[in-house]
Each structure stands twice: as structure tokens, then as C-alpha cells.
């Protein structure tokens, strides 16, 4: 997987002055565009589109300082129909406009070219199983919340408190299939997975039964899931599990992520400092891309 991802990075470098189609990058990486965006964001810490923009403006910055081309010629070279559009993109990356950079010899920011390699640490193993499931529903309460990578998500914590224990007990009684008990499901995340972007968060139970009229419902299609079990400090261990799935497990296994909700079941210790967790990630066989 990493070798193919690096081939896609090479393609980006060769086409910084042309249109770069994410679908073509996915073809080179022999995966889906959905999984490519997820993998890149997890490995690089930024969205694929942001990396391309930064690399493009890095090489454009060198052209600006070289002074051999007019600013309009540079703008056209890198795909901008006007000097104004190019200047806005240039300033967003470098903090100054191209005209200022050329006149004043301003200090510019460079985005280094990325490549990926596997570092084998052997510090821990990941417990997982592959499960094929018929369709079911997640029934409970829904909220639109911001994504938080580290620490407790205050919007989710407040939302759950607002549901109340009587309602949570009633929702738990609806559970009749795996993952059992109270679960959370996250859908409609931004491709970038950037801190602060929003997602739809369901706090409910997995069921194949009828949906009460006063509750929210998320239909989950039949498919294959990778199920990971973990325990440790809450919430740090859980957030680390998400990261490890995409940076360690996917590059080493013949699966790719597919669209669908990411489901988490958590059992907290009495002091809420430790947790046992089960993470369900929708997957499909990577060989399907060949």
C-alpha cells in the first residue's frame, strides 16, 4: 500500500502545473478515492487537497522569487485564470502576496515533498476480527458536533447529558444485535478529518426491530466490518485506536475503508478514567480495486 501511495505522490509532483484528479491518484494507488483521502489524511495529518495546494504554492513561490516570468504568467502556469485568484491562494500559504514577495524578498513557507515509509516498532498488537453483517439500524438521538482529535469532546459530552438516564435506559432496551448496548455512530464526516469539521453523531442502540416515532434512526447497509477491541485510558486510548487503524492496520492488511458509519461501543470504569472499547469500521477487500 505504501509503495502505491508513494507512486501517487510522484504523480502529484509531475503535475503541479496541471490539473490533478483525485480519481487518477486513487487509480495509481490501486484503491478507492474514498479510502485514499482517508489514508492520506491519517498519515499526513492534512487533507490531500491541502497538501496539493501547499506543494503547488511552494513551487510557484520559487518561480515568483526567480523573476523570470511575470506574475500573470506564473498564475496561468499553475492553473489560475486571474492574477487575483492566484494572489489569494499564494497569500493563504505564504502569508504575503506574490507582488510583495517579489518586491521585498519576503520569507516564504515551503511544504516539503512527502513520501511514506513503514516504521516497524513492534510495541503492541491489534486485536481484530472481520464480521459480515446484514443491515440494521442505529436508533437513539442525533446531533451535529465538531470533530475533536484529542481529549473529551465537550459537544458530545453535553449532548449525552441532555439525553438523560431514563431515555438512555429506554434506548438500551432496543438493542437486539451486535454491537450490543449503548453505542455511538459517526457519519457524514468531512473528507479532511480536520479538527473542528462537523459530523453527524448518533447515540443509540443497534436494532433490527421497529423504530419508535420519537427517536432518530440511521439505516446501516449490509456489509463487512473490521472490529477492533481495545482498553486503556479514556479517551486517549480510544482516539489512539482510531489513528492506529488507519496508519498501521490498513497499510498491513488486504482491506480498505468504505463509506458507512464508524461505530464505537464503550464501557467506562466507575471513575470514567479507563474504558473497554469496541470499534467497528466499514471495510471491503482491497483486491476489489484490481
On whether both 163 and 81 belong to a single domain, the answer is no
Domain boundary among 38, 69, 104: 104
Q: In terms of pTM, does the model score above 0.85?
A: no
On whether both 92 and 135 belong to a single domain, the answer is no
On whether both 141 and 231 belong to a single domain, the answer is yes
Domain count, the chain: 2
What are residue 133's phi and psi, to 5 degrees?
Answer: -125, 145
What are residue 196's phi and psi, to 5 degrees?
Answer: 95, -15
Statement: residue 279 has pLDDT above 80: yes
Question: Residue 279's beta-bridge partner residues?
Answer: 228, 264
> What pLDDT was estimated at residue 288?
46
pLDDT band at 135 (very low <50, low <70, confident <90, very high): very high
Domain that holds residue 168: 127-289
Residue 77: which CATH number?
Answer: 1.10.10.60
Cα gap 263→54, rounded to integer Å: 33
Cα gap 192→146, rounded to integer Å: 13
SS (H, E, C) 48-72: HHHHHHHHHHHHHHHHHHHCCCCHH
| pLDDT tens readout for residues 232-265 | 888 787 777 888 888 888 887 889 999 999 999 9
> What pLDDT was estimated at residue 56?
94
**Residues near 170 by Cβ (< 8 Å), separated by ≥ 6?**
none
Amino acid at each position: 500500500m505504501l509503495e502505491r501511495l508513494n507512486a501517487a505522490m510522484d504523480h502529484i509532483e509531475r503535475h503541479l502545473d496541471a490539473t490533478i484528479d483525485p480519481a487518477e491518484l486513487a487509480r495509481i494507488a490501486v484503491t478507492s478515492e474514498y479510502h485514499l483521502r482517508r489514508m492520506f489524511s491519517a498519515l499526513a495529518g492534512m487533507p490531500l487537497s491541502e497538501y496539493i495546494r501547499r506543494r503547488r504554492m511552494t513551487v510557484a513561490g520559487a518561480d515568483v522569487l526567480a523573476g523570470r516570468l511575470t506574475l500573470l504568467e506564473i498564475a496561468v502556469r499553475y492553473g489560475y485564470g486571474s492574477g487575483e485568484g492566484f494572489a489569494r491562494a499564494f497569500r493563504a500559504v505564504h502569508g504575503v502576496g506574490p507582488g510583495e514577495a517579489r518586491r521585498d524578498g519576503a520569507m516564504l513557507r515551503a511544504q516539503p515533498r512527502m513520501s511514506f515509509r513503514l516504521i516497524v516498532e513492534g510495541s503492541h498488537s491489534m486485536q481484530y476480527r472481520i464480521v459480515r453483517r446484514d443491515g440494521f439500524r442505529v436508533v437513539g438521538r442525533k446531533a451535529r458536533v465538531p470533530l475533536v482529535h484529542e481529549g473529551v469532546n465537550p459537544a458530545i459530552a453535553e449532548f449525552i447529558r441532555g439525553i438523560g438516564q431514563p431515555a438512555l435506559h429506554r434506548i438500551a432496551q432496543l438493542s437486539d444485535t451486535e454491537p450490543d448496548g449503548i453505542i455511538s455512530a459517526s457519519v457524514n464526516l468531512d473528507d479532511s478529518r480536520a479538527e473542528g469539521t462537523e459530523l453527524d453523531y448518533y447515540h443509540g442502540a443497534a436494532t433490527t426491530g421497529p423504530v419508535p416515532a420519537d427517536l432518530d434512526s440511521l439505516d446501516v447497509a449490509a456489509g463487512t466490518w473490521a472490529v477492533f477491541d481495545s482498553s486503556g485510558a479514556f479517551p486517549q486510548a480510544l482516539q489512539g485506536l482510531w489513528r492506529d487503524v488507519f496508519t498501521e492496520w490498513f497499510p498491513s492488511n488486504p482491506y480498505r475503508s468504505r463509506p458507512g458509519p464508524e461505530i464505537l461501543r464503550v464501557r467506562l470504569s466507575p471513575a470514567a478514567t479507563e474504558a473497554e472499547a469496541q470499534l467497528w469500521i466499514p471495510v471491503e477487500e482491497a483486491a476489489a480495486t484490481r
